[in-house]
Structure 1
Amino acid sequence: MSPHRRRIRAEEWVPIGVNALEDNALDVVRSTDNRSVIAGPGAGKTELLAQRAAFLLQTGNSPRPQRILAISFKRDAAANLAARVRKRCHPEHAGRLDSMTFDAFAKAIVDRFGQALPKDWRPQPNYELIFPFERDYRDYLSSIGAPPAQVGTRAQLMAIHAKTFERKHLFGAPLPEKPHVPANAAQWAADRYWRSSIESSSGSFLSFPMLGRLAELVLRVNPVVREALALTYSHLFLDEFQDTTQIQYDLVKTIFLGSSAIVTAVGDNKQQIMRWAMAMDDPFAEFERDFAAKRTPLFHNYRSSPDLVRIQHVLAQALDAQAVKPVSKTTGTVSGDSCAVWEFSTPNVESNVLAAFIVAQMKDHGLGPRDFVLLVRQSAKNYAALLAPALANYNLLLRNEAAEIGKVKLQELLSEELSELVVRFIHLATSERAGRSWSECQEALAHLRGILSDDDAARSRLGHEINDFCAGLRVKYPAPVSTEVEAIALVDEVLNFIGRKDLAASYPAYRQGDWIDKVAEAIALHMYESCTKATDWATALNIYEGSDALPLMTIHKSKGLEYHTVIFVGLDDGAWWSFDNDKIEATAGFFVAFTRAKQRVLFTYCAKRGARKKIDPLYKLLQQAGVSVVPAG
């Protein structure tokens, strides 16, 4: 069915772009009540939300002028959902979906209404974003000196763990309208942290958790603004709900609890891997209690082969004894074991054997480099040092997705809206046949400039403007850039054409501080690096996007992605050194890594990197599932 503007009767609506949905999924799509959807790996969580958005928009169940708000944990997940809805709906319908991350949502509220905060909590308008780590909180507690005698001692202050300080004392509860008088050393330290962050003589410095708490406060003390925001949205989607923090949940409650908005929360309690980042212990139970939401499980797995699904279920039961066995809706295509642990004598042997195996599998199954992923627990660059040369012997490029380009991680850079736009315009300007790029550029600019789909005159003028700009770009840059200066100039030209103000108006992250400049710098650096390995623009852009490179990434960055074959390098105590600190989260991370695979999962072990006593529970789970440990070199 092609996207169209006309309203469809609810009883006549059918899923778009898929053959069918399982019964429970279709029930959620058409639901008129709050739902808590437990959807395991490969269940099609994003597809479910895209179909629900299409149903609501096309049938008028989300009536104009109201909109749908979709909040995701990761930026690429938010972009993926928006893209799917655009494919299934007419632009006028798709334009009424606001898909963003929790962080972007909270930031947009503070940017718009922050000056209405109580004076004690009001940041300076041009605040700077900060990204503190645990060590920063530890250093802060060490450096602030002794508290007043009436509230505590320095020894009490030094006894506070940095994580406890962050989770409990800084962000553990909604902010009071007027700061409390500190009653103990921890409260005194937290109050000092907030005061110095907001009232510093050199400006305000705010982290995303701080923005979340400030956003909740500004709406709580301004009921007219809160009600107006709640009325804007007929429906709210919460994706990857298992990783929701108390800060984020409190913001949702303040806005939507008691409103007429219908809430759909989707996630998998077995894939909770953000407890270290303040994720709630059991957000589904709290949501179901507060919003009277009906729990609805999904049973199908559209990603993994039957044999992998069988093994996944063993792992799932270790996280949730009540886990329902999913049904694989695909077929197995690989010969031999679909899962095994390969033992190696040395890391060098491991790298060489894996490289040869990947090349052989590509040939046997007609696969490309991005049908594979090399996963590691942490420190990806250490593994890349050996893996990259081994793969290069077969003319395969390894791409460390965790690498930093300037101040931005590569995987995050590629999901930045500005990066995607720069690549589209360069592709349009340098390609002989770029029909798809042309329509994508026109749609993107029309969205940024607020040009409606039926404004033919404005769209025609925009088309001429794009053609003229790209013609000039083609003359200036006929070949890939050869210096960093050229790369910076190219990115600046595209950025200025797109329009900084229009980008800031559409994407909250670009409104404050210098984030847009950091992203632009990272684009230029990565573009220059990509161009040094290419003789034409098509190749340079392929390298930039990693189209022909084999990805290496950490478990956390693999969430939401899928691959034909997953190779987890380093199933040992050294990589999993923190296993004993939180066995539940570590096992959930193991489960996430395993469930990225469609057809095959390989784990590697090398005794020279570490023992496997600490993580013996993971090996026992694999043994229970019938997974073999075999010598591989």
Structure 2
Amino acid sequence: MAVLSRRIRSEDWKPVGVKALEVNALQVVRSADNRSIIAGPGAGKTELLAQRAAYLLQTGAAPAPRRILAISFKRDAATNLAARVRQRCHRNHAARFDSMTFDAFAKGLIDRFGQALPERWRPRPDYEIMIPGERDYREFLSRQIGVPPAPVGTYADIQAIPVKTFERRHLVGTPLPLDGWSQPTPAQWAAERYWQMFLHEGRKSFLSFPMIGRLAELLLRVNPMARDALRLTYSHLFMDEFQDTTQIQYDLVRTIFLGTNTVITAVGDNKQQIMRWAMAMDDPFTAFDGDFGATRTPLYNNYRSSPELVRIQHILAQALDAQAVAPVSKTVGTIAGASCAIWDFSTPETEAARLADVVVAEMKAHALGPRDFVLLVRQKASEYATVLDPAFVAAGIPLRNEAGMVGSIMLQDLLVEAVSELIVAVLRLAMTTRAGRHWTACQEALIALWGIAPDDEVAQARLANELDAYVTQLNTTYPNSPKSKAVSRSVVDDILEFIGREKVIAAHPAYGQGGWLDKVLDSAAEHLLASSHNDIEWSSALDTYEGVHAIPLMTIHKSKGLEYHSVIFVGLDDGAWWSFANDQIEATAGFFVAFTRAKQRVVFTYCAQRGTRTKIATLYQLLTNAGVKNIKVA
């Protein structure tokens, strides 16, 4: 329950909405200095930051009109934190809390101030987002780049640049030099050519998010007015999932806030670093502590997992950090039998049927729903879904591959897109009964999008009337769930027109370039149509859209930050973990992340038909050391 908007004396403030916080967490919440918090799985990182926001805003430690900036690695993490702060604070306070991803933060800077960049580094205002891969860099280095000037080197020197590390080491590896590279090496010359080609030589400028991050850092380095505006705006900065911070992101934060009175709180877990393939720093915590004089503070409690799972987790954690301190489980075990086991199957079909039967039985035994379970895979979720889906359908529970594509967007990403969530909320309000919470969600979203002041009761009453009239009209216009793509897209466009396309773009800058908004809208319409099969009523179609009654299937990377009663990891074999030897630390961290999603039970499955398990013997040894049994399943 949100508290009143009046100021609370610091000594009178108490945690909001929870019984208590552990001692170290409460210390961080009340702190006035820079902190780096090592918070293991289930430690309540989101709750910690929400409580700190509540304390700062309610006591005036973050004085109006200054704001709090929270930057997360993933969009859903940013969304979840903002929602939690709204739960913990009066809306007058929550309105001064800005939660976004690093990419959205950097892009917002370029969209607002990018034309102030020096000409060499200035993108066109209508630039588009690109997501280049290794194949694109190979094409550039082998065919598009041309021959360097003689003082730089030869074509052979360019061909010697490793494609795999070109982006990380050379293109965005260091802050951009204002006047370009003087006396460049072949790799620096290649990086300069890439920048100039995609900034200036095409019909439009094309930028990747790492390139945008580097441009944002340069912009603020050479534009003191913009940098000082940010320093004056934000009294506090939160950085979530800090273990996955890239050098680009860290340099941007350092350029803005180093040496200022902005207080920074960085939260993460060095044992859950699974984004080194995406340029995460090797040890951002040590860099942050050194540069910003931060105090390192560990959290010890685990509010997610049972004592037995926490015991096993600690053994896995020690493989990643020998100094890892044993966490304390603050929940209880609720299941009979082993909390963790490896199930050895003869065929994938046997495996699928058995897993479906077990899930059905567990749902009945513990009064659980489909979303209390997850099937995790290392990669190639669609291949697993082909075998698993028929067995789960036969057992009466649909399986949903959340790593599957809807149009040009992964389903799991579509569901956390702001405009997708808003469309569903409006449809829930218009088309279903008992929609009170959706009324609140829609009203709060529109208040923010339409720029209505939290204390403007007249404007809010007018909004309520407009929303009420609109959802009545929407229900009349579309009484049935859509049966064609045209009707589905019409529904989506109708809602966007009411909300205001430009207002959505203003609130979410990523929708302003490269046709991204239309891609999201088209994918939402496609998914809405697919969810409306067999003439089902609106409430069922929306349940299907959100996967309310389906077991989710996803990859490890997409499970980060989520939690389930039971985790079933399908495919603990060399085939799935083919790259294990290339980076055992990151692979083991991924294994740790998968394990720690569970509250009560973890099951690993193995099937010899998919591959051996010699290359990942290390993972099996860790489980053996923890006393986990391997069980042959007939």
TM beyond 0.5: yes
Structure 2 contact 148–189 (Cα < 8 Å) conserved? yes
Structure 2 contact 483–535 (Cα < 8 Å) conserved? no
Deviation of 1:248 (Å)? 0.1
Q: Structure 1: which amino acid aligns with 2:116?
A: A
Q: Structure 2: which amino acid aligns with 1:66?
A: R
SS in 1 for 2:609: coil
Number of the residue aligned with 2:514: 513
Number of the residue aligned with 1:546: 547
Question: Deviations for 1:410-450, whole angstroms, at most 9, x for unmatched residues?
Answer: 11111111001101111111123322212221111111011
Verify: 1:217 aligned to 2:223, yes or no.
no
Deviation of 1:534 (Å)? 5.0
Q: Structure 2: which amino acid aligns with 1:593?
A: A
SS in 2 for 1:526: helix
Distance 1:583 1:433 in 2: 50
Structure 2 contact 246–279 (Cα < 8 Å) conserved? yes
Distance 1:127 1:429 in 2: 37
Deviation of 1:148 (Å)? 3.0
Number of the residue aligned with 1:28: 28
Distance 2:39 2:466 in 1: 45
Number of the residue aligned with 1:91: 91
Verify: 1:55 aligned to 2:55, yes or no.
yes
Alignment of 1:65-464 (within 5 A): 65-144=65-144, 145-181=146-182, 183-464=184-465
Distance 1:307 1:516 in 2: 45
Distance 2:436 2:288 in 1: 46
Question: Deviations for 1:385-414, whole angstroms, at most 9, x for unmatched residues?
Answer: 010000000111111111111111111111
Distance 1:391 1:477 in 2: 33
Structure 1 contact 138–161 (Cα < 8 Å) conserved? no
Structure 1 contact 37–295 (Cα < 8 Å) conserved? yes
| TM-score normalised over the length of structure 2 | 0.99
Residues 534 and 549 (structure 1), Cα distance of their counterparts in 2 relative to 1, 3 Å cut = farther
Distance 1:355 1:430 in 2: 33
Verify: 1:499 aligned to 2:500, yes or no.
yes
Distance 2:194 2:63 in 1: 44
Distance 1:312 1:154 in 2: 51
- Give the stretch that moved more between structures: 204-213 or 456-465: 456-465
Q: Structure 2: which amino acid aligns with 1:554?
A: T
Q: Structure 2: which amino acid aligns with 1:382?
A: E
Structure 1 contact 146–154 (Cα < 8 Å) conserved? yes
Question: Deviations for 1:522-557, whole angstroms, at most 9, x for unmatched residues?
Answer: 110000000115510000000000011100000000
Number of the residue aligned with 2:37: 37
Question: Deviations for 1:568-605, whole angstroms, at most 9, x for unmatched residues?
Answer: 00000100000011000000000000000000001001
Question: Deviations for 1:467-521, whole angstroms, at most 9, x for unmatched residues?
Answer: 2211111111101111000001110000111101111111121122211111111
SS in 2 for 1:608: helix
Structure 1 contact 573–613 (Cα < 8 Å) conserved? yes
Question: Deviations for 1:46-74, whole angstroms, at most 9, x for unmatched residues?
Answer: 10000000000001000001000000000
Distance 2:535 2:257 in 1: 51
Q: Structure 2: which amino acid aligns with 1:210?
A: M
Q: Structure 2: which amino acid aligns with 1:82?
A: A
Structure 1 contact 533–540 (Cα < 8 Å) conserved? no
Q: Structure 2: which amino acid aligns with 1:520?
A: L
Structure 2 contact 2–86 (Cα < 8 Å) conserved? no
Distance 2:353 2:156 in 1: 53
SS in 2 for 1:552: strand
SS in 1 for 2:290: helix
Distance 1:200 1:475 in 2: 51
SS in 2 for 1:604: strand
SS in 1 for 2:179: coil
- Give the stretch that moved more between structures: 381-390 or 426-435: 426-435
Number of the residue aligned with 1:473: 474
Question: Deviations for 1:156-212, whole angstroms, at most 9, x for unmatched residues?
Answer: 322322231011100110001111145232112111110011002311000100000
Question: Deviations for 1:107-162, whole angstroms, at most 9, x for unmatched residues?
Answer: 00000000000110000001001111222212222222433333223333223222
- Give the stretch that moved more between structures: 442-451 or 177-186: 177-186
| TM-score normalised over the length of structure 1 | 0.99
SS in 2 for 1:71: strand
Structure 1 contact 67–232 (Cα < 8 Å) conserved? yes
RMSD in angstroms over aligned alpha carbons? 1.0
Deviation of 1:2 (Å)? 4.1
Number of the residue aligned with 1:580: 581
Residues 295 and 466 (structure 1), Cα distance of their counterparts in 2 relative to 1, 3 Å cut = same
Number of the residue aligned with 1:560: 561
Number of the residue aligned with 1:531: 532
Q: Structure 2: which amino acid aligns with 1:471?
A: T
Verify: 1:46 aligned to 2:50, yes or no.
no
Question: Deviations for 1:235-271, whole angstroms, at most 9, x for unmatched residues?
Answer: 0000000000000000000000011100000000000
Number of the residue aligned with 1:591: 592
Structure 2 contact 22–301 (Cα < 8 Å) conserved? yes
Structure 1 contact 567–601 (Cα < 8 Å) conserved? yes
Structure 2 contact 141–159 (Cα < 8 Å) conserved? yes
For this pair of structures, how many residues does the alignment match? 633
Distance 1:45 1:483 in 2: 43
Q: Structure 1: which amino acid aligns with 2:336?
A: S
Q: Structure 1: which amino acid aligns with 2:15?
A: P
Number of the residue aligned with 2:626: 625
Q: Structure 1: which amino acid aligns with 2:498?
A: F
Distance 1:2 1:94 in 2: 10
SS in 1 for 2:80: helix
SS in 2 for 1:42: coil
Distance 1:307 1:154 in 2: 59
Number of the residue aligned with 2:5: 5
Question: Deviations for 1:51-106, whole angstroms, at most 9, x for unmatched residues?
Answer: 00000000100000100000000000000000000011111100000000000000
Q: Structure 2: which amino acid aligns with 1:434?
A: A
Q: Structure 1: which amino acid aligns with 2:53?
A: A
Residues 548 and 534 (structure 1), Cα distance of their counterparts in 2 relative to 1, 3 Å cut = farther
Q: Structure 2: which amino acid aligns with 1:235?
A: H
Distance 2:399 2:43 in 1: 30
Q: Structure 1: which amino acid aligns with 2:277?
A: W
Distance 2:493 2:37 in 1: 44
Distance 2:64 2:2 in 1: 21
Unpaired stretches in structure 2, ≥5 consecutive residues = none
Distance 1:268 1:258 in 2: 25
